[in-house]
Chain A
Amino acid sequence: MNATAYNFAYLDEQTKRMIRRAILKAIAIPGYQVPFASREMPMPYGWGTGGVQVTAAILGPDDVLKVIDQGSDDTTNAISIRKFFAKTAGVATTTSTEQASVIQTRHRIPEAPLRAGQVLVYQVPIPEPLRFLEPRETETRRMHALGEYGLMHVKLYEDIARFGHIATSYAYPVKVNARYVMDPSPTPKFDNPKMDDCPALQLFGAGREKRIYAIPPHTKVVSLDFEDHPFSRYRFDAPCALCGADDSYLDEIVTDDRGSRMFVCSDTDYCEGRQAAGHRGTESAAPHKERVHG
C-alpha cells in the first residue's frame, strides 16, 4: 500500500483552480452563493470543510494563519485545523489577530479591527439564509434571483408581534450591497456590525452545502430590521473578569453547581493582549505572564 504525498495545502491543483474561480465570482457578486464542487476533506462535513477548502485555495508560503473557533485559538477544532495547515502547507501560524494575514473562523469575528490586506475565512454550516423558511433550493434560488425577500421580513415581523423583539440572536441575516440577503454564518449578532465597511476581504465557505460567497472590503452590510424595531447588538452587561473589557463579546463560565458564574472575553487573543497591556478584571492573575506569539 503506497503512502500518498499530498500537494501544498492538501488540495490538488485542479480543485484549487475550481475553488479559485468560484471565489472570484463570489467577490464579483457580493453576497451571492456560488455553487462549487466541494471535495471530501479529511475532516467531517460540518467541521469546517468549506472554510478549509477556501483557506487551502488562497494560502501561500508567505501567509501567516490564525484559526479560531468561538473566538478562541485554543478550542480543539481550531487547533486541529491550524495543525492541518501547518503540516500540509508549512505556513507560519499565529494567535495574533494583528499579525495574521489569513484568519479562518467559526462563529466569531475578532474584536480587534481587521485591516486592509487581511482575509477572514468563515466556516459556514447552512449558507442559505432563507433555508429555515423555505427548505427547497429551487425556491430559495428563485427568491434570490428576484430579490424577493418578503418571507424573511414576515418572519422577523412575526417575532416582533409575538415576543416584542426579533428573536434571532445569531446567524442574523444581513443585506449585502443593497441586493443579496446573506447568512453571516452562526456568529452572534453582536458581530454583525463588524462586517459593514470592513477593510478586510471576507470569504465564506460551506463545504457540505457546496457554496462559496464573499463580501469585498468596504461593502455595505446591513442587518435586517424595521424602522420601529432597529437592529441591536447583545452582550452580557458586565466587564470581562480577566481583562476588564466592557466592549467585547463574553463567554459565560459556570464556576460551580450553585449558580455562580463569571464572564470572560470569547476572543482569547483580545483578552490576553489587554491583560499584557496591564488591564485587569476581578479574577485575573497577576503578575500576568507574557504570551509568546508565533
Chain B
Amino acid sequence: MTTVAELPAGFADKVLSAQSTFRSVMDAMARPGGVQRIRAQAGTPAPMMHGTAAIALTLFDHDTPIWLDGAMSATPDAAKWLKFHTSAPVIAEPSVCSFAVIGDARSLPPLDRFALGSNEYPDRSTTLILQVDSLTSGPAYELTGPGIDGASVLQAMIPANLLELLAINATLFPRGIDVVLVHDDAIVAIPRTTRLAAYGA
C-alpha cells in the first residue's frame, strides 16, 4: 500500500510547468501530427508516461472526471497519484469523462463509449490521452485537416485499429473525440478535424 508520502511528486514549479506543458499541448492540438515535447519535470506513477503525467497535472482538476483503462487501473497507484495531485474524480463510466487515460492502446474500446458531445455543445466531449509505443518510428501515416499545411506525415507505433476507430470523427462532426498520443515526453494530437490515413494508401 502506497502512502501519500511515497507518491511520486507533482510539478516542482506548478505555475510555470503547467504553462509550458499547456503550450506544448496547445501547439500539438493546433498542428496535428507534429511532435511536441513536454519539458516540465514531474513525478510519474506507473504505468503513466512522463507526458501523460504532465498533461494530467496541467489540465485535470475536480471539475474533470477521469476514466482510466484496465492498464492504468491495474494497480491503484495512478488513481491515487491523480487524486492527490489533481483532485480529479476517477470514475467508472467512460461516457461522462472529460479525459480518458489509456495505458494499453491495443485494448482501446470503441470511441462511442466516451462522451462525444452534442451538436449544440460539441465541446462537452472526452479527450483521450493515449500512450503509444513510439511517435518517431514505425509505420507512416498521412494527416490532413485544419492546422496542417497541406498534409503532414507521422511515423508512429499506434494501434492498428485506431484509423478505423477514428473514422467516427468524420461522420459525427462537430461531435467527436480528440486524441493526444503520448510516448515518453513526446506528444502528438489528433483533434476530431484531422483525417488520418496510412501513408501512400
Contact = CB atoms under 8 A, between A and B. Distances in A.
A77 interface: no
A34 B192 CA distance: 15
A21 B29 CA distance: 11
B48 to A, nearest CB: 19
Contacts, number: 107
A26 B178 CA distance: 11
Most B C-beta atoms less than 10 A away, residue of A60, A141, A142: A60
B123 A20 contact: no
Interface size class of B (residues with CB under 8 A): 35 or more
A215 B145 CA distance: 12
Contacts of B173: 179
A218 B148 contact: yes
B18 A16 contact: yes
Contact of B127 (A24, A60, A217): A24
B183 interface: no
B59 A17 contact: yes
Interface in A54-100: 57-61
Contact of B119 (A7, A14, A18, A146): A146
Contacts of B192: 28-29
Contact of B16 (A8, A14, A20): A8
Contacts of B22: 16, 20, 57-58
Interface in B8-44: 14-16, 18-20, 22-23, 25-26, 29-31
B115 to A, nearest CB: 12
B129 to A, nearest CB: 12
Interface size class of A (residues with CB under 8 A): 35 or more
A184 interface: no
Most B C-beta atoms less than 10 A away, residue of A25, A35, A177: A25
B6 interface: no
Given A23-B26, A28-B192, A179-B174, A216 B63 contact: no
A32 B178 CA distance: 15
A222 to B, nearest CB: 13
Contacts of B123: 22, 25-26, 29, 32, 34-35
Interface of B: 14-16, 18-20, 22-23, 25-26, 29-31, 58-61, 63-64, 98, 118-123, 125, 127, 146-150, 173-174, 176, 178, 191-193
26 contacts: A17-B58, A17-B59, A20-B26, A20-B59, A21-B59, A22-B123, A25-B125, A26-B123, A28-B193, A29-B174, A32-B123, A32-B174, A35-B121, A57-B22, A60-B23, A142-B120, A145-B120, A146-B119, A177-B193, A216-B30, A216-B31, A216-B193, A217-B149, A218-B146, A219-B147, A220-B146
Given A26-B123, A29-B122, A145-B119, 5 more contacts: A8-B16, A17-B58, A179-B174, A216-B146, A218-B149
